[in-house]
Structure 1
Amino acid sequence: MAKPTISDLAKAAGVSVTTVSHAFSGRRHVDPETRRRIQALAEQIGYHPSSAAVALRSGRTGTIALASSMPFAVAAGPSRLGFLMEIAASAAMSALTRNLALCLIPPHPSAKSYVSAGFDGVILVEPMRDDPVLAHFEQRQTPIVSIGTVPDRPDIPAVDLRSRDTSSLLLTHLEEQGCRNVMALVGASQRTSQIESRAAYCAFAQTHGHAPRLLALDEEEGEEIAYRATLAALRDDPRIDGIFAAVDAFASGAVRAAQELGRRIPEDLRLVTRYDGLRAKLSRPPITAVDLHLPDIAERAVELLLDRIDGKPRMIEAAMPELVPRHSSTL
């Protein structure tokens, strides 16, 4: 038996083919009762609109993407369940509730390898200044929003992660715990989170009269570079009594170095990190971190992208981060 066509459905419903098309695409208004009747008849006669045809008529594919140039060394954690994957899981659920598919594009230093598939829009996670991923999608005129503001690009709608507030919260905690010689392990990348973390640390050191010890590290090397840098720093200056790690992989490396040197945490050295992921929770001792409210941020990013696709760009500020004190900084 031949598959029913849109013309067959239109005839059965007593409406035009155009009305049937709009009832499925949602691009034009159709009386709600008429829409329900058309959809009920479609199910009854076994008519299914072609997804390709719907996409062609509506200009939408029903698919959005989540992309980042962050290296796996910092984007992922134990079992690859890190910062990026927590956002991806929440964004996927948010997309599914809106009948959208979410495609996760893995971290990669170059946009050249990215698929050429069309997306209705893209959420970028913590893009860098002059990020190749951003350039890739801008060249294709794909609607873009960002989790974390894009340096020097106030025109790109974003969910502001409040990275300076996060850093200040952690540094103030170390000060309140009695630390007077705090070292900072911060990413050298030109991402807003790392730019603002560096600025917050410098302001903190100046305000409290501390001699600044800021180590800007290559995020590509993750835990290993932090381990080596912390080992050298603690050997060079035994007075260091606090470490602010702006990347959780750096915190893991710092814990290894401290333990190798026999520095007790938190008795001799207190340590905090930005992201409350599995690295912080599974560390021994568990590491004081910050709840960034990533599920809420992912939900807001999806909403922001849909607004952007509809031509309504705006900016959103995430909820204030909350300190999660643990044994790495409190006795």
Structure 2
Amino acid sequence: MPTSGAGPRPPTIADVAGAAGVSRTTVSHALNGIGKVDPRTRERIKQVAAELGYRPNLRAQRLRRGQAKAIALASTMPVAVAAGPSRLGFYMEIAAAAAESALLHGYALVLVPPVRSGTDLHSVDVDGAIVVEPDANDVAAAQLRERGLPYVALGRPVSPDEPAPYIDLRGELVAEKLLAHLREQGARRPALIIGSGQRHAAVDARTAYERVCAEYGWEPVVATAPETGGEQAGYDCCAELLARHPGTDAVCALVDAFAVGAVRAIKDGGRAVPDDVMVVTRYDGLRARTCEPPLTAVDLHLDRAASDAVELLLARLRGDVTTGMVVTSPEPRVIPRASSLRVTARA
């Protein structure tokens, strides 16, 4: 093989063709699984390519096929709640699992920062996207539709006009399980804190909370906080809630950043967690585990959900019409911790 001062050059498709005694077109068809190539010839070409250490030019393949071989992970969730100061959290856990699953299929994952009005997704070279927990009139979803790109939602879309297949994160069941746990621990006046947007988690939690309140005769107390405010928004919201409803004995703060802020507000107000006010949250992430006291949270099986979202999107890219519009995630599991173990801790 020819060499240069820079070292041996990598083998080319012409080298494989010469060693296998076939044309370059036959090599291309054999290695890409296209065209009519005798199975024995195809296997011989693959063996020769492996022996020579040949690697196909992926960029050239993408250009010929008109594919980017990349999918995007996008959301309108602000960093203040999706990731936090450490940049580790809900969004990044999904990203890690989705990237691994995509790579198994030969796709790269493009991680898009929070998409807001004015952010342009049109310049991102991808074949499709996963939109994490789209809000009503979601900007990211709207831009993908404008481009004619297929996408799936991780979390139930709340807009009735949303056409995307989705992974059902079972928002109502999550809220029901958290409220059942609080009731088991003695709560009789639990309040709900949710984001002020219209993501499925907030919408489903409110629906479940109002239903449970009616069932048990609880007075419903629902407060909302802006996602962009992160922990401080949760702090302010909880402080105001306790001032208006001093009899509140538990707070179900769906966003983990809000829950951490709520714990601070409770303590600063001279109350104890969980003896005076219990606190639970939805996402079992770093914030929940490092809060003091650690927060009772829910295992949402995000690794499985992210992988399912990739599979659902790739099915759409293949034009697979047999794949259903909805994939249901495994049953969520409450992980009890010190922030709400009032009865159990004393038993």
Q: Which residue of 2 aligns with 1:269?
A: 277
Which has the higher mean CA deviation after the structures are superposed, 240-249 or 117-126?
A: 117-126
CA 242–23 in structure 1, closer or farther in 2 if over 3 Å, else same: same
Q: Percent identity?
A: 46
Task: Report the Cα offset of residue 235 of structure 1.
Answer: 2.3
Q: 1:142 aligns with which of 149, 170, 182?
A: 149
Cα distance, 1:232 vs. partner?
A: 1.8
1:216 has 2:216 as partner: no
Structure 1 residue 187: Cα displacement: 0.9
CA contact (8 A) 1:78 1:278 kept: no
Greater CA deviation, 4-13 or 146-155? 4-13
Tell me the equivalent position of 1:180. 188
Segments of structure 1 that go 5 or more residues without pairing to the other structure are none
Match of 1:167 in 2: 175
Question: 1:118 aligns to what?
Answer: 125
Does structure 2 retain, via aligned residues, the 8 Å contact 1:285–1:327? Answer: yes
Q: Is the 8 A contact 1:25 1:54 kept in 2?
A: no
Aligned counterpart for 2:262 among listed residues 254, 260, 266: 254
Q: Report what 2:31 is aligned to.
A: 24
Once structures 1 and 2 are overlaid, which stretch shifts more, 44-53 or 299-308? 44-53
Shift of 1:159: 0.8
Deviation sequence 1:43-94 (CA, Å, 0-9, x none) = 5556543323211333332212111111001101351111000011111111
User: Structure 1 residue 309 and structure 2 residue 320: aligned?
Assistant: no
Shift of 1:225: 1.4
Question: SS at the partner of 1:119?
Answer: coil
Q: Which runs of 5+ in 2 are unaligned?
A: 3-8
**Do the aligned residues in 2 keep the contact of 1:78 with 1:279 (CA within 8 Å)?**
no
Residue in 1 that maps onto 2:5: none
CA contact (8 A) 1:110 1:132 kept: yes
For the structure 1 residues 297 and 153, does the alpha-carbon distance in structure 2 shift closer, same or farther, using more than 3 Å as the test? farther
Find 2:333's aligned residue among 317, 322, 327: 322
Match of 2:244 in 1: 236
Change (3 A) 1:21 1:140: farther
2:224 counterpart SS class: strand
Asked whether the 8 Å contact 2:122–2:147 carries over to 1, the reply is no
Pairing partner for 2:62 from 51, 55, 60: 55
The count of aligned residue pairs is 331
* Residues in 1 aligned to 2:130 and 2:105: alpha-carbon distance in whole angstroms: 16
- 1:32/1:249 CA distance change after superposition, 3 Å: farther
Aligned partner of residue 172 in structure 2, secondary structure: helix
Deviation of 1:186 after TM superposition, in Å, equals 0.6
Secondary structure, aligned partner of 1:24: helix
Alignment TM-score, normalising by the size of structure 2 = 0.88
SS in 1 for 2:213: helix
Say if 1:77 and 1:278, in contact at 8 Å, map to a contact too.
Answer: no
Matched with 2:6 is: none
Cα RMSD after superposing both structures: 2.2
User: What letter is aligned with 1:308?
Assistant: R
C-alpha separation between the residues in 1 aligned to 2:262 and 2:255? 11
Q: Do the aligned partners of 2:224 and 2:237 also contact (CA within 8 Å) in 1? A: no
Greater Cα shift, 17-26 or 229-238: 17-26
Residue 217 of structure 2 aligns with an amino acid whose one-letter code is G
Take 1:57 and 1:9, find their aligned partners in 2: how far apart are those partners? 20
Q: Are the counterparts in 2 of residues 67 and 125 from structure 1 also a CA contact under 8 Å?
A: yes
